[in-house]
């Protein structure tokens, strides 16, 4: 889980290096970055259900072999096309690993306290990997070529393949029924279309027909939902959503990551462009979030021994809301204390809540359906992240454009202002093209406009976290026994 999580963020730090070596087009570069998460998100439900049928350990080991092989292919890619294909295979293999690990936990640990602790460790590894990705990438790139970012996966996968057959018990659904190939294709197609639509909407401001992919995806998912409801042995048991604790936990996780993606989208740009820090320094500034998530996740089982789970989940999201409020106070000058404490509170809050909501998801279903439940929960994470980047990213960039347009100095051409308002990076290019005395002032205005927009988005994130805290506490208190 740590490696899978690292691979979601580690590549962002290597974009300049691989761009020099492979010379990808702009579209190819986007695919190199996005295809891993895109295929991963679209395949989780399918792989969770497949693991229930053929065996979670078998699927985990097959996925580990594929993940290791694809990592080697990615490390030695000689072209952008090969790297895109390797990243896609890694996403598909990663989709076999994520639900398999969580489902195996459900079937290994039958004691609720032990299972809760195991889920907390699982969640903490995922949280730590998201924060460690940029740091690890920066450290490796200081000494090795960008391919080393993928080769770190190989020894861990080899170790898993050697030890897994001896240490992991096999488990699966004893009576899964026939495999519904059409539903599998429809689920994967619908999820990929939706996630891709929202990802492209985030980068293209809802242009280039992004909404078409979203609409097609939702139509396909609606069709497969009707098919699954009518099936005697459905590929994915959507009736699991009849359990209020299960549904509440899935939605809480999705809303939490929906809000949290605004931090991942805006904060690195803020640190690197506004504060003029290096990529490695940007990773260090984000480290309090990862440390907070790790500590929160590991302490969640201890809190759950003395405090009812609904109150811990609600309190965690409330603490995350407070962290967002603190982060909204950041300005154009470096205030490390706000970033440290705000990021730490946000990380602790989400870290405390997530293991317990994941435990509720697993505990709400019988053991033979653990893979499907894990796949649904993790798909909620991925779809929530895609929606968050698209929605909050679009809102933030719209605010940035409005702020910059309204504050642009007289005498600047409308074309220059329009170009600078596309992204914060574009504002640097425009400022560099202007006379020095004008360019410096214009860049300062762009930094102010971006920071103000980021603060507004963080306040929106705080509101989402607070609303999730209230709703999750009320529903879980009424429905959990």
- pLDDT tens-digit series, residues 141-187: 778 888 888 998 999 999 999 999 999 998 887 776 777 778 878 88
Residue range 112-132: mean pLDDT, rounded? 81
Residue of higher predicted confidence among 204 and 77: 77
pLDDT over 90 at 40, yes or no: no
Contact 320, 256 (CB under 8 A): yes
Read off the pLDDT band of 310 (50, 70, 90).
very high
Range of lowest pLDDT (80-84, 141-145, 146-150, 377-381): 377-381
Pick among 3.40.47.10, 1.10.10.60, 1.20.1250.20, 3.30.230.10: CATH of 1-175: 1.20.1250.20
Same fold, 1-175 and 241-481: yes
For residue range 206-226, list pLDDT tens digits in order. 556 667 778 888 898 888 888
Confidence at residue 74, expressed as pLDDT on a 0 to 100 scale: 93
Confidence at residue 334, expressed as pLDDT on a 0 to 100 scale: 64
Confidence at residue 323, expressed as pLDDT on a 0 to 100 scale: 94
Residue range 196-201: mean pLDDT, rounded? 70
Range of lowest pLDDT (45-49, 75-79, 306-310, 313-317): 45-49
Biggest CA-to-CA distance, the chain:
74
Contact 292, 348 (CB under 8 A): yes
Confidence at residue 183, expressed as pLDDT on a 0 to 100 scale: 80
pLDDT over 60 at 292, yes or no: yes
Q: Is the dihedral of CA 56, 57, 60, 63 positive or negative?
A: negative
Q: How many CB atoms lie within 10 A of CB 306?
A: 7
pLDDT over 90 at 456, yes or no: yes
CB-count burial class (<10 Å; 0-12, 13-18, 19+) for 109:
middle
Confidence at residue 470, expressed as pLDDT on a 0 to 100 scale: 95
**Structural domain boundaries in the chain:** 1-175, 180-234, 241-481
Range of lowest pLDDT (47-61, 235-249, 300-314, 374-388): 374-388
Read off the pLDDT band of 110 (50, 70, 90).
confident
Own/partner pairs for 70-75, CB < 8 Å, 24+ apart?
71/150, 71/151, 71/153, 71/154, 71/157, 72/150, 72/151, 72/154, 74/147, 74/150, 75/147, 75/148, 75/149, 75/150, 75/151
Range of lowest pLDDT (64-73, 266-275, 342-351): 266-275
Contact 73, 47 (CB under 8 A): no
Residue 415 backbone phi and psi in degrees, to 5? -65, -40
State the helix-helix crossing angle for 309-327 and 336-363, rounded to 10 degrees.
150
pLDDT over 80 at 471, yes or no: yes
State the helix-helix crossing angle for 80-108 and 336-363, rounded to 10 degrees.
60
DSSP 242: G
Read off the pLDDT band of 90 (50, 70, 90).
very high
Read off the pLDDT band of 204 (50, 70, 90).
low
Of 12-16, 51-55, 91-95, 238-242, highest mean pLDDT: 91-95
DSSP 411: T
Architecture of domain 241-481: Up-down Bundle (1.20)
pLDDT over 80 at 122, yes or no: yes
Residue of higher predicted confidence among 329 and 208: 329
Q: For residue 7, which of 142, 149, 102 has the smallest C-alpha distance?
A: 149
For residue range 230-262, list pLDDT tens digits in order. 877 777 777 788 888 888 998 998 898 888 878
Read off the pLDDT band of 80 (50, 70, 90).
confident
Confidence at residue 27, expressed as pLDDT on a 0 to 100 scale: 63
Q: For a pLDDT cut of 70, what percent of the chain falls above it? A: 91
For the chain, what is the mean pLDDT? 82
pLDDT over 80 at 117, yes or no: yes
Residue range 79-103: mean pLDDT, rounded? 89
């Amino acid at each position: 889980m740590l490696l899978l999580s690292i691979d979601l963020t580690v590549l962002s730090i290597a974009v300049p290096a691989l761009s020099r070596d492979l010379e990808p087009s702009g579209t190819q570069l986007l695919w190199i970055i996005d295809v891993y998460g895109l295929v991963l998100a679209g395949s989780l439900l399918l792989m969770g259900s497949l693991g229930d049928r053929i065996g979670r350990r078998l699927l985990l080991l097959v996925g580990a072999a594929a993940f290791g092989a694809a990592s080697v292919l990615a490390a030695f890619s000689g072209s952008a096309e090969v790297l895109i294909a390797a990243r896609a295979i890694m996403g598909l293999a990663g989709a076999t690993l994520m639900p398999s690990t969580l489902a195996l936990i459900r079937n290994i640990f039958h004691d609720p306290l032990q299972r809760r602790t195991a889920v907390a460790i699982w969640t903490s590894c995922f949280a730590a990997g998201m924060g460690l990705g940029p740091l690890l990438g920066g450290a490796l790139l200081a000494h090795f070529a960008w391919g080393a970012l993928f080769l770190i996966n190989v020894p861990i996968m080899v170790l898993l393949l050697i030890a897994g057959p001896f240490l992991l018990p096999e488990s699966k659904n004893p009576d899964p029924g026939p495999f519904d190939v059409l539903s599998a294709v429809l689920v994967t197609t619908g999820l990929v279309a939706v996630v891709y639509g929202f990802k492209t909407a985030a980068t293209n401001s809802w242009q280039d027909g992004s909404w078409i992919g979203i609409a097609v995806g939702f139509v396909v998912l609606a069709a497969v939902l009707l098919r699954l409801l009518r099936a005697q042995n459905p590929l994915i048991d959507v009736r699991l959503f009849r359990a209020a604790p299960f549904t509440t936990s899935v939605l809480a996780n999705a809303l939490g990551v929906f809000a949290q993606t605004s931090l991942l989208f805006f904060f690195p740009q803020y640190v690197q462009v506004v504060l003029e820090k290096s990529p490695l320094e940007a990773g260090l500034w984000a480290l309090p979030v990862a440390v907070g998530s790790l500590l929160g996740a590991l302490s969640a089982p201890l809190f759950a021994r003395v405090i009812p789970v609904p109150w811990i989940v609600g309190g965690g999201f409330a603490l995350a809301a407070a962290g967002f409020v603190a982060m909204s106070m950041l300005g154009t000058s470096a205030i490390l204390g706000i970033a440290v404490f705000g990021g730490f509170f946000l990380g602790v809050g989400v870290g405390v809540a997530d293991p317990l909501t994941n435990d509720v998801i697993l505990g709400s279903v019988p053991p033979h359906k653990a893979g499907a439940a894990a796949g649904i929960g993790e798909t909620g994470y991925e779809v929530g992240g895609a929606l968050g980047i698209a929605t909050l990213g679009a809102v933030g960039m719209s605010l940035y454009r409005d702020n910059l347009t309204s504050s642009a100095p007289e005498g600047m051409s409308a074309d220059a202002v329009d170009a600078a308002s596309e992204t914060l990076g574009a504002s640097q290019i425009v400022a560099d093209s202007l006379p020095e005395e004008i360019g410096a002032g214009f860049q300062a205005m762009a930094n102010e406009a971006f920071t103000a927009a980021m603060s507004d988005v963080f306040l929106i994130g705080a509101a989402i976290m607070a609303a999730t805290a209230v709703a999750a506490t009320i529903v879980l208190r009424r429905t959990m026994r």
